């Protein structure tokens, strides 16, 4: 700065479209720089803010002083600030909110160095492929094309469409190896925390201390320690979940998003960013290459590869040309025979027994945790539901309690119906706990494990269960989607999908895509070793195109049918969506406000190329005591919708409600 500025623009994690202005005391003027954290007064409290600019003229009559500077040197570089500024504009959140989404939690409290009690190294339990493997022809072609792009020093995006077991991870690792030779860094993202230990084990066995781990279950001290290792260049390979995209790596050359279709790459709180979009912007800013890997690409990514926006590379064969598992769809309509909903079809029961006899392993998949999905009165129709959320309570057998999966409220099951005072209460539906109980009854000699949100709440529980299964200490593993993706278990010869229909009938235009994806992913866990695999899929709608395409391992068949449906409805990838959610403690006030907002937007949208859909109650219309209504704005692209929405949202005066904006809702 040629002239010492008098005022600093400070980004705060408040819902404001512009940074806040603070005066720089004379004692701080020589030491303050863009990218530093500072303490500033906000409503008589001390808050952490981020210096994002300077100015000479005051924006108001009274301007408070910055209290102190936290960092001796900036922790936010120009590239980071540019990325978060873009993210603020794209997701319609404040710059401060975007910055804080990208930093470890302790930094938001003004901390810097912390003492870690955890081991500094990430030594794997065993070495998995410590040396590069010989690539197949398809792998080599993909590797060469991506590496050539990296060598140009230009940004680029690739979709690596490889069937399950086709060796995408080996391509990733050999690309990273080439980058390390040139002292360049890589970020590898995996969708589930449950996948992170296995991913870490693979990458550490190859790259040792070059690997740093970032995900939400790390202790705060460990998270800060890893952040410093990355920033200082002591770790050049970052492996982690969604937030690892913001890692402060030096000389970034490659971003890999494995299982890129997965919904966990979408942040579900402000700022509600889509990791794929952030990765694309970061690659543009830092001239890096993005590789999106998946056996079941999102329709948006595959469509982009069809239109030439990104380059698609195919891995159509499994390693060593192992066959894909045989998939059989079981029509559950023929299994009921007037009885209650059966959990195991006769053929699934027979196949599990056969697998146990051969000393092989079985995975049973159901994407619904708990024992029973709801408690229902057959006399008056009463359904036990949460007082604070409009969702049914799920019965958990191990706790002997009804649990709300939205706010975690628990209560003891009632004996008499609160509606009619009769004792005609019955449990309906099935969850993973009920599958476990039935499996223990049918297969008394089997060693059975369960992996879902309830069984993995303790630290390292993911690793414990997966290691037991890998060591063949568990014969039957029952679980939700966390067992469906990315895992490699060579002795699994049977996959049983208890119900293929749990997501198929949800009020979501992506329901078929989610169903096809999860069926394909869970099927891919079978037959990955020398033992042939078999998959049994139980369904009450066996003729649905998503189930048929998954049975045939045919992504293109599914895509061609689904893309027609999307085009007819003018849904993504043909049009873009922004969701506006109004919440408040008074339902009357929420409805009044969203009707006013809808009218305010709808009148002008008619003259533009936008449509306002709704308003309507959210799928969960009440959560944690807050009523929730929403509407959607549909338009040609997110930037066009945002440019139109920004001024209108600024003019909208919120009264006793809060407004949440979700760009590209998933």
Q: State the 10-residue block means of pLDDT for the chain, 666 residues long.
A: 75 92 94 96 94 90 93 94 97 96 92 59 52 93 98 97 92 97 96 69 89 84 91 94 94 96 92 97 98 96 97 93 90 74 91 95 83 72 82 76 81 87 79 90 94 70 83 92 72 92 83 93 78 90 94 96 95 96 95 93 82 90 91 95 90 87 94
**CA angle 614–616–617, rounded 5-degree value:** 155
Alpha-carbon dihedral sign for residues 362, 366, 367, 372 = negative
Q: What is the CATH number of domain 7-109?
A: 3.40.1440.60
What is residue 405's predicted lDDT score, i.e. its pLDDT? Answer: 73
Range list of β-strands (E), 152-218 = 156-162, 185-189, 211-214
358 within 8 A of 388, measured Cβ to Cβ: no
Q: What's the CATH architecture for 322-369+443-566?
A: 3-Layer(aba) Sandwich (3.40)
CATH class (in words) of the domain with range 137-318: alpha beta
The three-state DSSP-derived secondary structure of 383-438 is: ECECCCCCCECEEECCCCEEECCCCCCEECCCCCCCCCCCCCEEEECCCHHHHHHH
Q: Which helix (H) or strand (E) holds 656?
A: none
Phi-psi sector, 407: left (phi>0), alpha (psi -120 to 50), beta: alpha
Give the other-Cβ count within 10 Å of 440's Cβ. 12
H or E element that contains 322 = none
Q: Please tell me if the domain spanning 7-109 has the same topology as the one spanning 322-369+443-566.
A: no
Q: Could you tell me the two tokens for 544? A: 């649905």
For residue 65, the 8-state DSSP code is B
- The closest of 294, 192, 242 to 521, measured between CA atoms, is 294
Structure tokens at 457: 């709440």
- DSSP assigned state of 193: G
- What the block records as the tokens of 527 is 């037959």
Burial profile 507-530: b = 16 or more Cβ within 10 angstroms, e = fewer = eeebebbbbbbbbbbbbbbbbbbe
Longest Cα separation, the chain: 85
> The domain at 576-663 falls in which architecture?
2-Layer Sandwich (3.30)
The Cα-based distances of 43 to 25, 224, 604, 654 in angstroms read: 19, 29, 37, 20
- Res 321: pLDDT: 83
The secondary structure of the chain in percent helix, strand, coil, rounded to multiples of 5, reads 35, 25, 40
Taking the C-alpha atoms of residue 116 and residue 229, their distance in angstroms, rounded to an integer, is 13
pLDDT score, position 658: 93
SS (H, E, C) 530-584: CCCCEEEEEECCCCCHHHHHHHCCCHHHHHHHHHHHHHHHCCCCCCEEEEEEEEE
- C-alpha 16/C-alpha 304 separation (Å) is 33
Contacting residues for 143 by C-beta, under 8 A, at least 6 apart: 135, 171, 174, 175
- For 67-87, b/e burial (b = at least 16 CB within 10 A) is bebbbeebbbeeebbebbbbb
Secondary structure class of 607 (helix, strand, coil): coil
Residues in the chain: 666
The residue ranges of every structural domain in the chain are 7-109, 137-318, 322-369+443-566, 372-429, 576-663
Place of tokens 């998949």: 365
Retrieve residue 223's tokens: 């998270």
Looking at residue 119, what is its pLDDT? 46
Distance CA 113, CA 493 (A): 48
């Amino acid at each position: 700065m040629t002239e010492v500025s008098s005022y600093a623009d400070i980004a705060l994690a408040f819902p404001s479209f512009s940074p806040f202005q603070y005066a720089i005391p004379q004692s701080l003027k020589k030491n303050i720089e863009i990218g530093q954290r500072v303490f500033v007064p906000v409503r008589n409290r001390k808050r952490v803010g981020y210096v994002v600019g300077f100015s000479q003229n005051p924006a108001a009559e009274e301007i408070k002083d910055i209290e102190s500077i936290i960092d001796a040197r900036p922790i936010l570089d120009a590239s980071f600030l540019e990325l978060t500024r873009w993210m603020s504009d794209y997701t319609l959140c404040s710059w401060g909110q975007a910055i804080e989404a990208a930093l470890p939690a302790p930094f938001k409290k003004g901390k810097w160095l912390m003492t870690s009690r955890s081991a500094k190294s990430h030594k794997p339990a065993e070495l998995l492929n410590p040396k590069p493997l010989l690539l197949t022809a398809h792998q080599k072609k993909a590797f060469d094309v991506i590496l050539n792009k990296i060598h140009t020093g230009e940004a680029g995006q690739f979709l690596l469409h490889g069937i399950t077991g086709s060796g995408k991870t080996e391509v990733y690792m050999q690309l990273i190896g080439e980058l390390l030779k040139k002292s360049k860094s890589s970020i590898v993202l995996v969708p589930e925390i449950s996948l992170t230990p296995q991913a870490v084990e693979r990458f550490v066995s190859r790259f040792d201390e070059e690997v740093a781990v970032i995900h939400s279950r790390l202790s705060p001290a460990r998270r800060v320690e890893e952040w410093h290792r990355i920033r200082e260049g002591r770790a050049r390979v970052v492996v982690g979940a969604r937030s690892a995209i913001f890692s402060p790596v030096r000389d970034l050359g490659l971003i890999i998003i494995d299982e890129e279709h997965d919904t966990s790459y979408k942040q579900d709180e402000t700022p509600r960013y889509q990791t794929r979009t952030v990765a694309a912007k970061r690659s543009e800013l830092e001239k890096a290459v993005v590789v999106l890997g998946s056996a079941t690409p999102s329709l948006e990514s595959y469509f982009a590869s069809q239109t030439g926006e990104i380059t698609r590379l195919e891995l159509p064969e499994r390693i060593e040309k192992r066959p894909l598992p045989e998939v059989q769809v079981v029509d559950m309509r023929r299994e009921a025979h007037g009885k209650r909903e059966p959990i195991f079809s006769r053929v699934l029961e027979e196949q599990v027994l056969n697998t146990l006899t051969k000393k092989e392993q079985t995975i049973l998949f159901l994407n619904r945790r708990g024992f029973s999905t709801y408690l229902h009165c057959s006399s008056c129709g009463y359904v036990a539901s949460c007082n604070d959320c409009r969702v049914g309570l799920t019965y958990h057998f191990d706790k002997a309690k009804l649990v709300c999966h939205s706010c975690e409220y628990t209560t003891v099951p009632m004996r008499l119906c609160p509606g009619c005072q009769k004792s005609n209460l019955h449990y309906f539906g099935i969850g993973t706990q009920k599958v476990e109980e039935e499996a223990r009854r049918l297969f008394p000699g089997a060693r059975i494990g369960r992996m879902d949100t309830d069984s993995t709440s303790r630290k390292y529980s993911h690793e414990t269960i997966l290691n037991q299964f890998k060591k063949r200490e568990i014969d039957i593993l029952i679980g939700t989607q966390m067992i469906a993706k990315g895992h490699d278990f060579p002795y699994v010869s049977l996959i049983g999908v208890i119900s293929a229909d749990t997501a198929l009938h949800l009020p979501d235009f992506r329901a078929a895509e989610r169903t096809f994806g999860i069926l394909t992913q869970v099927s891919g866990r079978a037959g990955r070793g020398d033992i042939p695999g078999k998959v049994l899929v139980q369904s009450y709608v066996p003729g649905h195109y998503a189930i048929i395409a998954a049975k045939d391992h045919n992504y293109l068949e599914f895509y061609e049918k689904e893309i027609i449906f999307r085009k007819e409805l003018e849904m993504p990838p043909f049009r873009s969506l922004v969701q506006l959610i109004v919440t408040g403690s008074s339902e009357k006030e929420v409805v009044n406000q969203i009707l006013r907002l809808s009218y305010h937007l709808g009148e002008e949208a008619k003259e533009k190329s936008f449509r306002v859909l709704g308003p309507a109650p959210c799928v969960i219309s009440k959560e944690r005591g807050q009523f929730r209504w929403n509407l959607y704005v549909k338009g040609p692209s997110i930037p066009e919708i945002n440019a139109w929405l920004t001024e209108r949202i600024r003019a909208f005066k919120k009264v006793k409600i809060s407004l949440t904006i979700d760009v590209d809702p998933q």
